[in-house]
A and B are shown apart, each in its own frame.
Chain A
Amino acid sequence: MTDLKEHQDAAEQQASPELEKKVQRRESWRGFLHAAPAYVYLTIFFTLPLVIVFVFSFASRSRTGKPILEDWNLDSWAKLVDPLVRTIAIRSFWMAFFNTVLTLLIAYPFAYWIATRRRQSTRTILLIGVLIPFWSNFLVRTYAWRMLLDSDGFITQIGEMTGLWGRLLFTAPAVFIGLVYGYLPFMVLPLYAALERMDWSLVEAGRDLFASGPKAFRKITLPLSKPGIIAGSILVFIPSLGAYVTPDILGGGKTNLLGNYIVTQFGSAANWPFGSALSGAILIVMLIATILYFRTGGKTI
């Protein structure tokens, strides 16, 4: 009995900063172990290739086009200010921007509709519907679009019947159709997550305080779903900026965009250092843009 008592006293005395630190160390070690597999994987298959790309951007090029890992220089980076690069970059930016806006305009009402279904089971089924396209390969789906948009394709036939449009394949609309289609789920899911979390009594409060339906949406629902809008826009904008498959297959690769321009550098142009510098530059710009976007967004939420 006295032994036990003494033991307890000792334990209480030990509940000092020392003990706390020990517990904290153990916790952080455990936390690291949980994250370790992801760390290792990302380091080997993501960070390392990026470093290689970065290193190659300072390399030089032999006459035959082979990259040579000596005579380190900044030539490839200097070439980025070339007017041609700027034209391509601006074109890609606008395409990604319009695609993001278009996707947002289509995805928002849809996500809103799903989120406002009363029954959980209905919402789940609709969400699975959004994810079904992912069950098949992106390339396969893009080729399917090619068939739909080609001369004897279903969509072209409708257009010719109504006299509203002709063959869409290898035109700008075809590229946008493909891009919106491809990135729609990335916009719908974060929007749905934001809207589903919404406290709808806030909208009721807005209506009660003399806001009309559209006004309540603009003043309450829209600002409160902003985290979803930001997340969805980033998820759509970034991949559309470097989109390669869709413009190539549905647009015929006729116009130079950042995606196929980079591919060209590693292929026919055989200029690996320049391709690496381009990739690196996009990465840095996107990183800065994302950080700024989150910062400004984070403040107003």
Chain B
Amino acid sequence: MHAHKDGHLMSDQAAVGLHGVTKRFGETVVAVKDVDLEIPEGEFFSLLGPSGCGKTTTLRMIAGLEYPTEGSVRIYGEEMGVRPPNKRPVNTVFQSYALFPHMNVQDNISFGLRMQKVDEADVQLRVGRSIDLVRLTGMEKRKPNALSGGQQQRVALARALVNRPKVLLLDEPLGALDLKLRQTMQLELKDIQSEVGITFVYVTHDQEEALTMSDRIAVMNEGRLAQVGRPEDIYESPNSRFVAGFVGEMCFLPAHVVADGSVSLDGGAVVSATTTSGPGTDVTLAIRPEMLHLYAEASDAPSDRNSIDGSVSRTVFFGDSILYEVDVGAAGTMDVRVENIPSMRRWNVGDRVVVDFHREAATALNND
């Protein structure tokens, strides 16, 4: 670590550093608000959030396609300022691929190298390798419009990777693909990333995609960073109702802190949960549906856990699991996801049940 002249402390390893970055469009629109981020070299980092949360704008500021209104963008410690995109050591895979329609696959991929005046023999070699890497051998002479969506996606990836950027920026690269292909490409992208060892900054609104692929995730909301952490941290200990609701399924119940580690629900039931605020505070109790279990009698459930009485009000069959909506009286309803395995009891609408969960599965989130 060493101090820069403006006083920011930053590690030499950070591939990308954003410090107090704010982006305004015109007078009124604030797309990104005071974002601080450090992305270490070699990391698969995701910016996750709903549309309009500022994730794409953040990515574009790293690429140099937008300039921050305030704050600084650094790549390997070097201040980018208003340096144009062609002078930055990063490349982008665009959302709609942005392949040049008037050039074939080979010309698309070699574009960046030609612009950098890399000598011809080297261009041929590197383009050939990239084509192998993304498995497009035999497609060299095709125009983009003669390729399938998945193939176009691969050309876009190869076109960026062939330049060996220090950081690869990906703007929802799998958004236009169908589910099956998207899942295959997720794995493929992850493999390619570990193969080339380049830092990936990946923008997505798909929480599942972010969870499965990333080393770390930054969840964004309304231009701000809501939470930054490993997928496990984000999923298991969300720091706000927004993050809890956006990443994965979550069942929320209004609650009231009665003591440290204990909350009361509307209707009187008292349950143990992780609390961060003192007694008397109104909070929201958040529990993952798959952390809940159903029993016929309270006596069937393990004794050291929370249990709430209710009745099944709806069942939804998913194939690999079944979702039961349980009416727990004044406290509201809880979604319970039960794995569909032969030994598991099936419930019907109207059945009296006991909803059971471990105290560590329940988190009392502050109402914002």
Contacts of B90 in A (CB 8 A): 208
The one of B64, B84, B98, B163 that contacts A205, using a Cβ cutoff of 8 Å: B98
Chain B window 142-169, contacts with chain A (Cβ cutoff 8 Å), 1 for yes, 0 for no: 0000000000000000011001000000
Contacts of A212 in B (CB 8 A): 84, 86
A-B contact pairs, 18 of them (CB 8 A): A202-B100, A202-B101, A205-B92, A205-B99, A205-B100, A207-B84, A207-B85, A207-B86, A208-B64, A208-B65, A209-B91, A210-B112, A210-B163, A211-B86, A211-B111, A212-B86, A213-B84, A220-B100
Q: Give residues 211-246 of A contacting B (CB, 8 Å).
A: 211-213, 215, 219-220, 223-224
The one of A201, A208, A223 that contacts B86, using a Cβ cutoff of 8 Å: A208
Verify if A6 is at the interface (C-beta below 8 Å from B). no
The one of A204, A210, A213, A301 that contacts B98, using a Cβ cutoff of 8 Å: A204
Verify if B94 is at the interface (C-beta below 8 Å from A). yes
Contacts of A211 in B (CB 8 A): 86, 111, 115
What is the CA–CA distance of A213 and B65 in the complex, to the nearest angstrom? 12
Known: A209-B91, A209-B112, A215-B115. A301 touches B65 (CB 8 A): no
Max chain A C-beta neighbours (<10 A), residue from B86, B91, B111 = B86
Contact residues of B with A, CB < 8 Å? Answer: 63-65, 84-86, 90-92, 94-96, 98-102, 111-112, 115-116, 159-160, 163
What is the CA–CA distance of A213 and B163 in the complex, to the nearest angstrom? 19
The reply to whether A208 and B115 form a contact with Cβ atoms under 8 Å apart is no
The reply to whether A204 and B94 form a contact with Cβ atoms under 8 Å apart is yes
Verify if A199 is at the interface (C-beta below 8 Å from B). yes
Verify if A296 is at the interface (C-beta below 8 Å from B). no
Contacts of A223 in B (CB 8 A): 102
Verify if A67 is at the interface (C-beta below 8 Å from B). no
Chain A proximity of B236: nearest CB distance (Å)? 37
Verify if A206 is at the interface (C-beta below 8 Å from B). yes
What is the CA–CA distance of A209 and B100 in the complex, to the nearest angstrom? 12
Secondary structure of the A contact surface, majority rule: helix
Chain A window 175-211, contacts with chain B (Cβ cutoff 8 Å), 1 for yes, 0 for no: 0000000000000000000000001011011111111
Contacts of B96 in A (CB 8 A): 199, 201
Contacts of B100 in A (CB 8 A): 202, 205-206, 220
Contacts of B112 in A (CB 8 A): 209-210
Q: Give residues 15-36 of A contacting B (CB, 8 Å).
A: none
The reply to whether B94 and A210 form a contact with Cβ atoms under 8 Å apart is no
The reply to whether B102 and A210 form a contact with Cβ atoms under 8 Å apart is no
What is the CA–CA distance of A219 and B111 in the complex, to the nearest angstrom? 10
Contacts of A204 in B (CB 8 A): 65, 85, 94, 98
Contacts of A210 in B (CB 8 A): 86, 112, 115-116, 163
The reply to whether A207 and B65 form a contact with Cβ atoms under 8 Å apart is yes
Known: A208-B63, A208-B92, A210-B86. A199 touches B98 (CB 8 A): yes
What is the CA–CA distance of A224 and B65 in the complex, to the nearest angstrom? 21
What is the CA–CA distance of A115 and B142 in the complex, to the nearest angstrom? 30
Contacts of A205 in B (CB 8 A): 92, 94, 98-100
What is the CA–CA distance of A206 and B85 in the complex, to the nearest angstrom? 9
Report, as a range, how many residues of chain A touch the other chain: 20 to 34
Chain B proximity of A296: nearest CB distance (Å)? 14
The reply to whether B159 and A209 form a contact with Cβ atoms under 8 Å apart is yes
What is the CA–CA distance of A199 and B92 in the complex, to the nearest angstrom? 16
Chain A proximity of B130: nearest CB distance (Å)? 13
Q: Which residue of B lies closest to A220 (CB)?
A: B100
What is the CA–CA distance of A210 and B95 in the complex, to the nearest angstrom? 19
What is the CA–CA distance of A114 and B116 in the complex, to the nearest angstrom? 32
The reply to whether A202 and B85 form a contact with Cβ atoms under 8 Å apart is no
Verify if A300 is at the interface (C-beta below 8 Å from B). yes
What is the CA–CA distance of A250 and B102 in the complex, to the nearest angstrom? 43
Chain B proximity of A192: nearest CB distance (Å)? 20
The reply to whether B102 and A209 form a contact with Cβ atoms under 8 Å apart is no
Chain B proximity of A70: nearest CB distance (Å)? 57
Contacts of B91 in A (CB 8 A): 208-209
Contacts of B86 in A (CB 8 A): 207-212
Chain B proximity of A153: nearest CB distance (Å)? 45
Chain A proximity of B27: nearest CB distance (Å)? 15
What is the CA–CA distance of A202 and B85 in the complex, to the nearest angstrom? 13
Known: A201-B94, A208-B65, A208-B85. A224 touches B101 (CB 8 A): yes
The reply to whether B98 and A202 form a contact with Cβ atoms under 8 Å apart is yes
What is the CA–CA distance of A300 and B91 in the complex, to the nearest angstrom? 28
What is the CA–CA distance of A208 and B111 in the complex, to the nearest angstrom? 10
Q: Which residue of B lies closest to A203 (CB)?
A: B98
Contacts of A215 in B (CB 8 A): 115
Given A201-B98, A208-B92, A211-B115, 14 other A-B residues pairs in contact with their CB atoms under 8 A: A205-B92, A205-B99, A206-B111, A208-B65, A208-B85, A209-B112, A209-B115, A209-B160, A209-B163, A210-B86, A210-B112, A210-B163, A211-B86, A212-B86
What is the CA–CA distance of A172 and B92 in the complex, to the nearest angstrom? 52
Top 8 closest A-B pairs, CB basis? A209-B112, A205-B98, A210-B115, A207-B85, A201-B98, A210-B86, A208-B92, A211-B115
Max chain B C-beta neighbours (<10 A), residue from A206, A208, A210, A301 = A208
Known: A201-B98, A204-B85, A224-B102. A209 touches B111 (CB 8 A): yes
What is the CA–CA distance of A202 and B163 in the complex, to the nearest angstrom? 17
Known: A208-B63, A210-B86. A301 touches B102 (CB 8 A): yes
Chain A proximity of B82: nearest CB distance (Å)? 13
Contacts of B102 in A (CB 8 A): 223-224, 300-301
Contacts of B85 in A (CB 8 A): 204, 207-208
Q: Which residue of B lies closest to A211 (CB)?
A: B115
Q: Which residue of B lies closest to A204 (CB)?
A: B65
